[in-house]
């Protein structure tokens, strides 16, 4: 379960996120969408405890991030858009390191299974510099999943993946959700969200314009039309006319 | 098209200057500029003024001396020209920026225009360099003339050097295109060089005079002798173009400078036309050269050298259970040389013990042992006072990964402590080896007026101090990186060179030194008082030990408090770099 209540994030005088609240139950996949500068990455970073919130509450699996950041972080995994890896550690050594940090007992069979699932077994002794962009992304994912997190935050997870990699990533996200993880992902690829997400939240200038299941958000912006795509909904929701009065739900 | 290229250069330069001016609003750049300018004034300008003010210290060179300088300079320039024909192994490639390649290579521009653009672009750097050289040579009164003639003279030399290098690389590429191998080219170049050396030898033989004893013993006279030899016969003609290029720089006065300017400019123009008219493909190599340069710059911006990572065996077995800080030690050791492993240190310690005992047994080898001890003392000194600045496998290097580190379920102080362990372990290992080598030197302490029996006690005290002193400095350096991440990132940026950055580094170093001094002084006082108080009661060796423990205990408390505080700083660190600064 991921719970965010009245999250505010300011950088100096600039407010990136304004009183955002959301709840993602186990098994749900929430798609965070919005134009550039909407506050998606700030929201994800605050929720993952990477940057401090200016105000508001974040709870991961019931653990308050402000009160017990270590406890909350034990249950989450964050996947940035650009995979962050250590230049001098091989694929296997990355898993070894993460296992010690999270105290994952018997990590070797778990790691081997993850590498097999992500087709990295043959690259187990390769350094990040020897991996393609997609493989680096897969390694970052393997590191994030090793401790079986209950909450996943993915920032533009499909960047740099080939079509097969995209398919596998979608399947992986859905599988983790079915296994009981709460997932929040931000992406500009709206067809991905349509395929993977159970819920969607539209952000603009740090404010929530709409959220709910895909059907709920569609019905709100479809004006009674049938079969309106998420892309069309997104464009309608974030059109300039909404600037003056964002529709808070 | 030319106007577009000119617009690109002028606008880029204007914007760069404006950006530099605008960032002076930020205190760190303003303070850095003031400190940098102050430093430059004290080091260069003030000294130059002082040096010229000193009567008779640097009198104007005589015409004879100028002639000697010019001849030797011409010989040096000829060697540089020759090397530009011998050294290159790859095809010609011009240095463009990534943006220039992206925009200009696909643009409807002729090859000549691209080359001309490159040459003109490089002029700003050469003009600045020539002005600086001119300032230096004029202040040092190395040549005749004045500051302006020196600057123009340097510009002519640098431009010819640059153009000749490009022209030679183009010519070599043409030879490659015609199937001439590098080996064959070098053989021909070597034969030509041998011919030139033979010519010089022949000139020497023609002069029929060996240098006198006075000439050999006096550098100035020897230079004049060499100049006289080189000025005679065919070598004179061989050096003529290079002499012409150097003539404005060595002109004794303005009229001589103006007379020399024409031939030098003709040579520059000749080179320019040669480069422009040589039809070779330089694009492929330019692109790869730019990519290499970008990778180098990116590495330097992160404060790293361009080190190619290689997979290494784990430094020790890392189990999944146990203190997470050890995982950082394990990870960061993997980023260092494979030499920094416990086994290497153990082997070296064994060698020091065995070698020390062997040297100590032979009285005739004692001087060698003292030399080893002196070397070891230098190592310990460098470890204590320079090591923490060089060993950066801590948060200073890992700050770029702060967003990843912050997702780990660890307290901030655990991350900080874990990050500090690797440089601490490496420096302590090296320091202890040095202390061991010093301790193995018999009678070393007697040279400092201490009892021989206190040698091992002093060594133990020093060994005990090494990790504390190193950790203290590492903590201060990491605190600076966490407290002022923008300062740290800019001072770490080795790719940028500017006065304000130099000033920022100076301020950083001064602040760091002050804080370390403040932290160490109480410990020194406590330790010193303990030694003085207990010396008579327990004897010097025991008093030294007690004093070291007392002083270091105080530093240990300071370190524990500081690491906890750094942990809180790390937890509060806002890694949203896109909105920082």
Contacts of B409 in chain A (CB under 8 A): 69-74, 101-102
Nearest to A73 among B309, B311, B407 (CB): B407
∠ Cα B265 B270 B275 (to 5°): 125
Domains and CATH numbers, chain A: 1-75+152-249 (3.40.50.300), 83-148 (no CATH)
- Can you tell me the distance from the alpha carbon of B404 to that of A81, in angstroms, rounded to the nearest whole number? 12
pLDDT of residue A248: 38
Which among A45, A72, A97 is the nearest to B331, CB-wise?
A: A97
Query: B324 to chain A: which residues are within 8 Å by CB?
Result: 100-101, 103
Q: Which residues of B fall below an 8 Å CB-CB distance to A?
A: 308-312, 314, 318-322, 324, 326-327, 330-331, 334-335, 401, 403-404, 406-411, 571-572, 574-576, 579
Q: Name chain A contacts of B404, Cβ cutoff 8 Å.
A: 80, 84
| A148 at B interface, C-beta within 8 A | no
- Chain A nearest-CA distance from B22, in A, is 19
Partner B, chain A 18-47, Cβ-Cβ below 8 Å: 42, 45
Tell me the pLDDT of chain A averaged across its residues. Answer: 87
Q: Which residues of B311-329 are buried (b: 16+ CB within 10 A; e: fewer)?
A: bbeebeebebeeebbebbb
Per-residue pLDDT at A5:
95
* CA angle, residues B446, B450, B453, in degrees to nearest 5: 85
Other Cβ atoms within 10 Å of B55 Cβ, number: 7
Supply angle C-alpha B78, B83, B87, rounded to 5.
170
CA distance A160 to chain B (A): 19
pLDDT of residue B217: 63
pLDDT for residue B428 is more than 70: yes
Residues from chain B that touch A73, judged by Cβ atoms under 8 A, are 407-410
Interface test with chain A among B311, B326, B485, by most A beta carbons within 10 Å? B311
Contact A107 B571 (CB under 8 A): no
Looking at CA atoms only, how far is residue B89 from chain A in angstroms? 27
Nearest chain B residue to A69 by CA: give it.
Answer: B409
Verify whether the Cβ–Cβ distance B320 to A107 is below 8 Å: yes
A105 touches chain B (CB under 8 A): yes
A-B Cβ pairs (cutoff 8 Å, strict): 101
pLDDT of residue B579: 40
Q: CB distance A73–B409 less than 8 Å?
A: yes
Q: Is the pLDDT of residue B302 over 70?
A: no
How confident is the model over B40-69, as a mean pLDDT? Answer: 61
Q: Give the least confident one: B156-165, B292-301, B545-554.
A: B292-301
Q: Is pLDDT at B418 greater than 60 in this prediction? A: yes
Distance CA A32, CA A203 (A): 7
| Per-residue tokens: A13 | 């005088």
pLDDT at res. B307: 55
- Chain B partners of A69 at a C-beta cutoff of 8 Å? 409, 571
Which range among A73-77, B137-141, B162-166 shows the weakest confidence by mean pLDDT? Answer: B137-141
pLDDT in tens, B237-251: 888 899 999 999 888
Interface test with B, best of A15, A46, A50 (most B CBs within 10 A): A50
A164 touches chain B (CB under 8 A): no
Q: Which of B320, B575, B579 sits opposite A100 (nearest CB)?
A: B320
DSSP state string for A108-122: HHHHHHHHHHTT-GG
Helix (H, G, I), strand (E, B) or coil at B484: coil
What are the tens digits of pLDDT across the range B555-577?
999 999 999 999 999 988 877 65
A93, B571: Cβ pair inside 8 Å? no
Digit-coded pLDDT (tens) for A37-81? 889 999 999 999 888 888 999 999 999 999 998 999 999 999 988
Selection from B571, B415, B327, B410 nearest residue A71 by Cα:
B410
Q: pLDDT for A132-143, tens place per residue? A: 888 898 899 999
pLDDT at A22 over 90: yes
- Shortest distance between the Cα of A219 and any Cα of chain B, in A, equals 36
- Partner-chain residue, chosen from A69, A99, A127, that has the shortest CB–CB distance to B311: A127
What is the ipTM for the molecules in this complex?
0.77
Strand extents, DSSP E, chain A: 2-11, 14-24, 29-33, 55-60, 63-64, 76-79, 151-155, 182-186, 199-204, 207-213
Per-residue pLDDT band for B61 (boundaries 50, 70, 90) equals low
Burial class (CB in 10 A: 0-12, 13-18, 19+), B174: middle
Taking an 8 Å cut-off on Cβ atoms, the answer to whether A89 and B334 are in contact is yes
Sign of the torsion angle spanned by Cα atoms B317, B323, B326, B331: positive
Asked if B575 lies within 8 A of A69 by C-beta distance, the reply is no
Rounded to an integer, the average pLDDT of B183-187 is 84
Q: Is A124 at the interface with chain B, CB within 8 A?
A: no
Contact list, A87 vs chain B (CB under 8 Å) = 309, 335
Mean pLDDT score, B287-303: 73
Nearest CA in chain A to B332: A88
Q: What is the pLDDT of residue B215?
A: 64
Q: What is the mean pLDDT of residues B38-56?
A: 59
Give the pLDDT mean for B323-329.
94
Cβ contact, residue pair A89, B572, below 8 Å: no
Closest approach of A11 to chain B, Cα-based (Å): 7
Q: How many CA atoms lie within 13 A of B233 on its CB side?
A: 17
Q: Whole-structure pTM over 0.90, yes or no? A: no
**Of A49, A76, A93, which is closest to B314 when you measure between CB atoms?**
A93
The answer, for A249 touching chain B at a CB cutoff of 8 Å, is: no
Place B491 in a pLDDT band, splitting at 50, 70 and 90.
Answer: low
How many CB atoms lie under 10 A from the CB of residue B179?
Answer: 7
Span B442-461, pLDDT tens digits: 766 666 666 667 778 788 88
Instruction: With a cut of 90, say whether residue B423 has pLDDT above it.
Output: yes
Residues 170-209 on A with a CB inside 8 Å of B are: none
Rounded CA-CA distance A195/A174 in Å is 9
Q: With pLDDT > 90 as the criterion, what percentage of chain A qualifies?
A: 48
Q: Which residues of B touch A89 (CB under 8 A)?
A: 331, 334
Q: How many CB atoms lie within 10 A of CB B294?
A: 12
Is A45's CB within 8 Å of B330's CB? Answer: no
Q: Higher confidence at residue B514 or residue B40?
A: B514
Most confident of A82-96, B226-240, B256-270, B502-516: B256-270
Residues in chain B closer than 8 A to A72 (CB atoms): 409
- When pLDDT is averaged across residues A87-97 and rounded to a whole number, the result is 90
pLDDT at residue B373 in the model: 84
Q: Which residues of B4-19 are buried (b: 16+ CB within 10 A; e: fewer)?
A: ebeebeeeeeeeeeee
Interface membership of A103 toward B (CB under 8 Å): yes
Which has the higher per-residue pLDDT, A175 or B108? A175
DSSP SS3 for B425: helix
Interface contact B403-A80, CB threshold 8 A: yes
Nearest CA of chain B to the CA of A81: how many Å?
12
Question: Confidence class of residue B55 from pLDDT cuts 50, 70 and 90?
Answer: very low
What token pair was written down for B40?
Answer: 């430059």
Interface membership of A84 toward B (CB under 8 Å): yes
**pLDDT of the residue at B28:** 73
Chain B interface mutation, best of A89, A129, A130, A139, highest count of B Cβ atoms under 10 Å: A89
Residues of A in contact with B320 (CB under 8 A): 99-100, 103-107
Using a CB-CB cut-off of 8 Å, the residues of chain A touching B575 are 45, 50-51
Q: Give the tens place of pLDDT for each residue, A144-203.
A: 999 999 999 999 888 777 888 888 888 889 999 999 999 999 988 888 888 899 999 999
């Amino acid at each position: 379960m991921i719970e965010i209540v009245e999250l505010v994030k300011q950088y100096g005088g600039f407010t990136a996120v304004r009183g955002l609240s959301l709840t993602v139950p186990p098994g749900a996949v929430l798609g965070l969408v919005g134009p550039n500068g909407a506050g998606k990455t700030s929201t994800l970073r605050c929720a993952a405890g990477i940057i401090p919130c200016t105000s508001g509450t974040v709870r991961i699996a019931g653990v308050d991030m402000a009160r017990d950041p270590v406890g909350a972080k034990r249950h989450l995994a964050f996947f940035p858009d650009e995979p962050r890896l250590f230049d001098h550690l091989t694929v296997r050594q990355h898993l070894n390191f993460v296992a010690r940090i999270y105290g994952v007992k018997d990590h070797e069979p778990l790691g081997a299974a993850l590498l097999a699932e992500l087709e990295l077994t043959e690259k187990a002794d390769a350094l990040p510099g020897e991996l393609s962009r997609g493989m680096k992304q897969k390694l970052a994912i393997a590191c994030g999943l090793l401790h079986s997190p209950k909450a996943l935050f993915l920032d533009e997870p499909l960047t740099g993946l080939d079509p097969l990699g995209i398919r596998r990533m979608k399947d992986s996200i859905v599988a983790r959700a079915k296994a009981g993880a709460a997932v929040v992902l931000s992406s500009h690829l709206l067809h991905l969200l349509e395929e993977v997400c159970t819920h969607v939240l539209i952000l603009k200038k740090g404010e929530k314009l709409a959220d709910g299941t895909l059907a709920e958000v569609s019905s709100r912006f479809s004006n009674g039309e049938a079969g309106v795509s998420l892309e069309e909904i997104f464009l309608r929701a974030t059109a300039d006319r909404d600037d003056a009065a964002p529709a808070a739900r | 098209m030319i106007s577009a290229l000119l617009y690109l250069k002028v606008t880029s330069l204007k914007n760069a200057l404006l950006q530099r001016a605008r960032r002076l609003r930020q205190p760190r750049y303003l303070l850095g500029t003031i400190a940098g300018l102050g430093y430059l004034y004290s080091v260069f300008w003030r000294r130059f003024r002082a040096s010229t003010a000193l009567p008779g210290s640097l009198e104007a060179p005589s015409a004879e001396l100028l002639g000697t300088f010019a001849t030797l300079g011409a010989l040096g320039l000829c060697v540089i020209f020759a090397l530009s024909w011998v050294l290159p192994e790859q095809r010609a490639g011009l240095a463009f920026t990534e943006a220039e390649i992206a925009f200009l290579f696909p643009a409807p521009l002729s090859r000549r225009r691209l080359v001309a653009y490159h040459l003109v672009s490089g002029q700003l750097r050469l003009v600045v360099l020539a002005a600086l050289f001119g300032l230096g040579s004029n202040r040092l009164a190395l040549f005749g003339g004045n500051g302006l003639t020196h600057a123009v003279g340097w510009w002519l030399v640098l431009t010819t050097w640059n153009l000749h290098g490009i022209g030679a690389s183009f010519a070599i590429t043409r030879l490659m295109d015609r199937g001439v191998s590098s080996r064959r080219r070098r053989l021909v170049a070597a034969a030509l060089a041998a011919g030139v050396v033979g010519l010089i030898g022949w000139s020497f033989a023609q002069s029929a005079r060996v240098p006198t004893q006075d000439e050999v013993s006096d550098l100035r006279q020897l230079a004049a002798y060499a100049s006289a030899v080189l000025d005679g016969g065919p070598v004179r003609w061989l050096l003529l173009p290079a002499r012409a290029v150097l003539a404005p720089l060595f002109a004794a006065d303005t009229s001589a400078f103006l007379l020399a300017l024409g031939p030098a400019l003709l040579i520059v123009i000749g080179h320019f036309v040669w480069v422009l008219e040589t039809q070779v493909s330089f694009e492929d190599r330019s692109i790869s050269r730019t990519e290499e340069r970008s990778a180098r710059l990116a590495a330097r911006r992160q404060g790293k050298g361009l080190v190619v990572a290689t997979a290494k065996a784990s430094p020790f077995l890392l189990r999944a259970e146990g203190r997470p800080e050890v995982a950082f030690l394990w990870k960061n050791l993997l980023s260092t040389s494979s030499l920094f492993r416990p086994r290497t240190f153990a082997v070296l310690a064994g060698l020091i013990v065995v070698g020390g005992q062997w040297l100590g047994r032979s009285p005739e080898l004692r001087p060698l042992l003292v030399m080893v001890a002196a070397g070891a003392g230098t190592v310990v000194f460098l470890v204590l006072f320079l090591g923490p600045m060089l060993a950066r496998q801590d948060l200073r290097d890992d700050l770029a990964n702060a967003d990843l580190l912050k997702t780990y379920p660890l307290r901030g102080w655990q991350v900080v402590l874990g990050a500090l362990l690797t440089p601490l372990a490496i420096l302590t290992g090296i320091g202890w080896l040095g202390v061991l080598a010093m301790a193995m030197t018999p009678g070393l302490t007697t040279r400092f007026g201490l009892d021989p029996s206190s040698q091992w006690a002093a060594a133990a005290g020093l060994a005990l101090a090494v990790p504390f002193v190193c950790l203290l400095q590492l903590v201060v350096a990491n605190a600076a990186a966490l407290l002022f991440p923008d300062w740290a990132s800019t001072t770490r940026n080795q790719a940028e060179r500017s006065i304000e950055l130099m000033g920022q580094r100076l301020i950083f170093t001064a602040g760091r030194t002050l804080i370390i001094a403040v932290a160490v002084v109480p410990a020194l006082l406590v330790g010193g008082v303990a030694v003085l108080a207990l010396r008579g009661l327990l004897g010097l060796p025991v008093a030294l030990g007690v004093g070291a423990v007392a002083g270091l205990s105080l530093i240990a408390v300071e370190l524990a408090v500081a690491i906890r505080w750094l942990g809180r700083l790390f937890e509060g660190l806002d890694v949203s770099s896109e909105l920082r600064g």
